[in-house]
Amino acid sequence: MSFLLLLLLLVPLAGALIGAALPPAAAKSWALLVSLLTLACCVGLLWQFDFQQNPLDFPSAQQAAKSVQIDFGGTVDNPFSIDSIGFHFDLGLDAISILLVALTVFLTPLAIAASFGSIKEREKEYYAWMLVLLSAMIGVFVARDLLLFYIFFELTLIPMFFIIGIWGGAERRFAAGKFFLFTFAGSVFTLAGAIYLGNKYGTFDIATLTAYAQHGGPRGFLPALDSQERWLILLAFLAGFAVKVPLFPVHTWLPLAHTEAPTAGSVILAGVLLKLGTYGLLRLAIPIGMIDANGVAFPAAAQGIAVLCIIGILYGALCAWVQKDVKKLVAYSSVSHLGFCVLGLFALNAIGMQGSVLYMINHGLSTGALFLCIGMIYDRYHTRDIDQLSGLGRIMPKLAFFLVLFAMSSIGLPGTNGFVSEFLTVLGAYTSPWLGPKFGSVAALGVILGAVYMLHMIARIIFGPLKFPRGHDGDGHTAHGDVHGHADQGQAASADHDDYDTKSNDIGAREIAILVPLAIAVIVLGVVPTSLLRPMLGPVELIRNPAAITAQAVPPR
């Protein structure tokens, strides 16, 4: 299992190096093959992983590690370790991180395949950066050392910066620069907090730091964090992870980055990169900064963050409602959805935190799928303006089916994956002793607004009279008239669907093959969400239960 875990990092990284030396014509096929091999490694790990084990059933960390975690390294002769500063190249998985790794390796081949029809320049570089990004994202989820976590966390900025800046839209350079500066500036504070913890306790092992921060080191030689230290550490982690989520008011980089990124960049950005922030809050900010030996250390801080979540939920939904650019509409929807996700985390109860982790997965599937559908429309009509698109369900019935399904999932329609996670996060906030009914009730308004802006988008694009931009025949080629051949230059074309040939417009076999796995996941996770919720309970209890964390603590090496 350790070998497969290491391969998760090495296969895409080696594939990127080899792909950069291949002819351009072979680069995309090679990238898809490498991403599928990485997916196969993850399937092997999932097959061997025991999801039925509960860490709380084991009295010692050594037993828990054997049953719940997969380790690589961590020995004194590890060539990648630096014992003088307490750094060790340690990789591991629990039920939460393996599910997020599965999401990552599931979305990446689909994003790469979706790029085949749209990326025509500098293909080798593009697909090499996609594979580097895949390796970096996996590294964040499997790192058990805080410094190693930070290295992978920052490494994700570099490939995404180039993906947006080179293959993005008209304002790609500004969008890439804003994305990089916002996220890097926030993570500098996170690095300061990590260094302080490593220096204080002589190790960067995340499990050990969590236990020592709450209860001190063995035999009382290393004191636990006092109230002031814990508060500063919490602020340091929030600074880096809140920007990455992003939470209101540090969200302004996201709509522009989504709008300017190529389709695959938007899929990965929404599907995985935003989850690095929520994962950091779950794995570091809450157990180290928010929880002490007596329970929740800063209830007022949890309420303050929840207020920001509520503002983000409502503000993001209202902004999405008035957008003319359909891609920016989905981008603002992510601001709203991630507000729900973080609200569930800071409810600090099992229901809310389980719902939040499930929300990370479901949002990645639903929003990633929406960006794929929008990219397929853009490839044909070269516009994302809602005012220029209408009635596409008449000429693209297959795409219309998928777009409506994923929109219903994003809304949280019962029977789709979005319903359970959204319900649990709101219920977690409602029943939380630190938040309560006021927060849960106001957050529920965001569910209503989510239905408003999504149904508005569907009604405008899929239904109504047929209309699309003059100059495109629906297959990505320039046309010489409207559907009747009489429209003036610059005007939108419209026609009754009975008079228009639809054969060349709808999505083809490759695009259907990309969307079908996502559609299956949306339905399966909507019908049987307990298959993911049950394995999460043990790790969630370890995070929110100080006594459990103490029982699982391991001494520094």
Q: Would you state the pLDDT for residue 78? A: 56
Q: What are the distances in angstroms from CA 177 to CA 160, 210, 243, 275, 478?
A: 11, 34, 15, 21, 33
Q: Would you state the pLDDT for residue 472? A: 54
Q: How far apart are CA 305 and CA 405, in angstroms?
A: 32
Q: How far apart are CA 104 and CA 118, in angstroms?
A: 22
Query: Average model confidence (pLDDT) for the chain?
Result: 84
Mean pLDDT of the region 387-405: 91
pLDDT tens digits, 273-293: 999 999 999 999 999 988 887
With CA atoms as reference, report the closest residue to 137 among 248, 259, 9: 9
**Please, which pLDDT band fits residue 470 given cuts at 50, 70 and 90?**
low
**Please, which pLDDT band fits residue 56 given cuts at 50, 70 and 90?**
very low
Mean pLDDT of the region 88-108: 91
Q: Would you state the pLDDT for residue 53? A: 58
Q: What is the 3-state secondary structure of 90-136? A: CECCCHHHHHHHHHHHHHHHHHHHHCCCCCCCCHHHHHHHHHHHHHH
pLDDT tens digits, 358-368: 999 999 999 99
Q: Would you state the pLDDT for residue 291? A: 86
H or E element in which residue 469 lies: strand 466-469
Listed by start position, the domains of the chain span 2-464+508-552
Least confident of 105-109, 200-204, 518-522: 200-204
How many CA atoms are closer than 13 Å to the CA of 360, on its beta-carbon side?
A: 33
Mean pLDDT of the region 94-99: 91
Q: How far apart are CA 62 and CA 554, in angstroms?
A: 8
The token duo for 547 is: 């006594």
Beta-ladder partners of 292: 295
Q: How far apart are CA 416 and CA 402, in angstroms?
A: 13
Q: How far apart are CA 44 and CA 41, in angstroms?
A: 5
The model's pTM is: 0.88
